Amino acid sequence: MFTGIIEETGKIIQPNNSDGQSFRIACSFNVNEIDIGASICCDGICLTVSSKGKTQDNTTWFEVDVSDETRNLTNINCEISPWIHGK
């Protein structure tokens, strides 16, 4: 259940395809506690976890898919603060 409590700030480590429809976000969460299908609020947008894992340097990440509708109606593509690698 979404509690509305901000637990941390993640970082986009990889837009996962050329059209930016999915994003891999680094975080310090225990990867075993992130369920596929869980909702995680990212930049005010509730997104569904589609995969999860750890990088070679042991950084935990989760991945979300973003629909065209979400891209058009949220701040993901805004000119002031778009979602980009390293943000």
The pLDDT tens digits for 14-28 are 766 656 688 899 999
Rounded to two decimals, what is the model's pTM? 0.80
The SS3 assignment for 52 reads: strand
What is the reported pLDDT for 85? Answer: 63
Q: What is the token pair recorded at 14?
A: 């990889």
What is the reported pLDDT for 73? Answer: 84
What is the reported pLDDT for 37? Answer: 95
The SS3 assignment for 69 reads: helix
Domain boundaries, the chain: 11-77
Q: What is the token pair recorded at 6?
A: 């901000």
Q: CATH number of 11-77: 3.40.630.30, 3.30.365.10, 2.40.50.140, 2.40.30.20?
A: 2.40.30.20
Asked whether 51 and 62 are in contact (CB, 8 A), the reply is yes
For the chain (87 residues), the mean pLDDT of every run of 10, in chain order, is: 72 70 89 91 88 92 89 74 64
Phi–psi pair at 58, nearest 5 degrees? 75, 20
